[in-house]
């Protein structure tokens, strides 16, 4: 990059859908907005600007449309990546869908003297929902600086730890279960699992959570990303995967049918990422269905129709895998209740009622009752397939 005595903005005019919408970046990014950016970043108001066509390229811009809704500001020997919000905040995360792309371009560029910023354009819709607030904190943790924060949003603070993200994610998910496209779970001390969907807008959640987690991870932390989707797109975008590989502290596993078939053939108990992912989809964050335990390290995926029994059937391997990974063939249970359920010390009826083994001593039954705060499953769990699996458990 050449040394710049005067700030210069270099900006692609075309966005991804400009040809279809007729809206081009040079009509959105006014001189007033660029002046605001330049002053708040550099303390200067005198600058040059170039709105360039798709075929323009340099060491910071490719010969294509404006990925990441970016403006590149160069001054002296420093380059500033500025990503702009969408002018519409009508979907769940429509206002910031370009953010992971902007981060990818910034992070993968090898130039050393670089900075990353985000600018809020005036927008329609509500960009201050609890979901957006959570995403802004992820952005801040990943390395974005905010040039102008609307008063409706207020202060944006980084997360302090991975556990801090988990707490905030759970709080956000409790307010709106539809926000849970990606799950971050602590399974043991310094051990975390991310179940990330990769289809459509979900990939933006997954990417940002991974970037923030990676920034916060210590040397002792073990983090695994399970790429999970029921549709054709089974991986994050290539640039996102390249970023995670460069960050170097998140292992990436694609939930693959062949791997799970092999696991099913070799073991009577199935530790299946797909089963866990489907339980998360169906039940939400890990929380025992029979007590108040919400400590994810202590909560496990319990099969209703056991894998060992499924394997004894004459069904095809594909059908067996379908049964073994069906989210309706499982419940979240703490370690105590899971062991009691598997040992037939505790029973579930097709109506969701809980009962105990008749051979329990009075002392053991009193203990079981003391740790079981729910003697009836939530009615939303009592689906026809749930009843079918309960029937198979006790009668197959």
183 within domain boundaries: no
Q: Is 48 within 8 Å of 58 (Cβ atoms)? A: no
* Its pTM surpasses 0.75: yes
The reply to whether 196 falls in a domain is no
pLDDT at 215: 97
Q: What are residue 190's phi and psi, to 5 degrees?
A: 65, 20
Strands (E), 267-364: 299-303, 330-334, 346-348, 354-356
Number of other CB atoms surrounding residue 31 within 10 Å: 9
Query: Where among 107, 131, 148 does a domain terminate?
Result: 148
Query: Is 386 among the domain residues?
Result: yes
Cα separation, 294 vs 247, in Å, equals 31
Number of domains in the chain: 2
- Residue-number span of the structural domain to which 375 is assigned: 268-396
* pLDDT tens digit sequence for 182-213: 899 999 999 999 998 888 778 888 999 999 99
Low-confidence ranges of the chain (pLDDT < 70): 16-22, 90-94, 173-180, 230-234, 268-270, 396
27: tokens are: 């009509």
What pLDDT score does 197 carry? 84
Residue 226 lies in a domain: no
Structure tokens at 355: 């009962």
Q: What is the pLDDT of residue 180?
A: 59
Q: For residue 45, what pLDDT is reported?
A: 96
CA 305 – CA 57 distance, rounded (Å) = 58
Residue with tokens 């939303």: 380
Q: Is residue 81 part of a domain?
A: yes
> How far are the Cα atoms of 13, 19, 29, 43 from residue 25, in angstroms, in the given order?
5, 12, 6, 24
Confidence at residue 286, expressed as pLDDT on a 0 to 100 scale: 92
204 located within any domain: no
What is the DSSP secondary structure assignment for residue 19, as one 8-state letter? H
From 132, 148, 164, give the residue that closes a domain.
Answer: 148
Residue 162 covered by a domain:
no
Of the residues 128, 148, 168, which one is the last residue of a structural domain? Answer: 148
């Amino acid at each position: 990059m050449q040394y710049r005595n005067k700030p210069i903005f270099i900006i692609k005019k075309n966005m991804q859908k400009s040809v279809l919408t007729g809206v081009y970046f040079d009509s959105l990014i006014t001189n007033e907005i660029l002046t605001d950016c330049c002053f708040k970043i550099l303390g200067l108001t005198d600058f040059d600007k170039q709105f360039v066509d798709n075929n323009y390229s340099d060491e910071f811009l490719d010969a294509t449309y404006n990925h990441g809704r970016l403006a590149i500001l160069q001054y002296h020997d420093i380059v500033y990546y500025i990503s702009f919000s969408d002018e519409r905040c009508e979907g769940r995360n429509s206002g910031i869908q370009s953010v992971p792309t902007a981060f990818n371009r910034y992070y993968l560029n090898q130039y050393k003297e670089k900075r990353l910023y985000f600018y809020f354009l005036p927008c329609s819709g509500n960009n201050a929902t609890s979901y957006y607030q959570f995403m802004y904190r992820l952005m801040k943790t990943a390395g974005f600086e905010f040039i102008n924060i609307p008063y409706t949003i207020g202060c944006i603070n980084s997360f302090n730890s991975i556990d801090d993200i988990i707490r905030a994610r759970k709080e956000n998910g409790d307010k709106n279960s539809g926000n849970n496209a990606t799950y971050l779970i602590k399974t043991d001390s310094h051990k975390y699992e991310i179940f990330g969907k990769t289809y459509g807008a979900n990939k933006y959640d997954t990417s940002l959570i991974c970037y923030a987690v990676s920034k916060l991870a210590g040397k002792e932390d073990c983090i695994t990303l399970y790429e999970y989707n029921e549709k054709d797109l089974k991986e994050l975008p290539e640039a996102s995967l390249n970023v995670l590989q460069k960050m170097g502290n998140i292992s990436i596993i694609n939930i693959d049918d062949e791997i799970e078939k092999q696991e099913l053939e070799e073991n009577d108990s199935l530790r299946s990422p797909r089963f866990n992912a489907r339980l998360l989809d169906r039940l939400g964050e890990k929380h025992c269905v029979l007590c108040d335990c919400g400590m994810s390290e202590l909560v496990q995926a319990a099969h209703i129709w056991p894998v060992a029994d499924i394997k004894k059937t004459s069904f095809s391997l594909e059908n067996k895998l379908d049964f073994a990974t069906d989210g309706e063939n499982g419940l979240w249970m703490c370690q105590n209740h899971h062991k009691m359920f598997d040992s037939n010390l505790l029973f579930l009826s097709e109506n969701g009622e809980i009962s105990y083994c008749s051979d329990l001593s009075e002392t053991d039954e009193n203990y079981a009752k003391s740790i079981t705060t729910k003697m009836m499953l939530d009615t939303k769990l009592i689906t026809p397939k749930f009843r079918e699996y309960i029937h198979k458990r006790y009668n197959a």
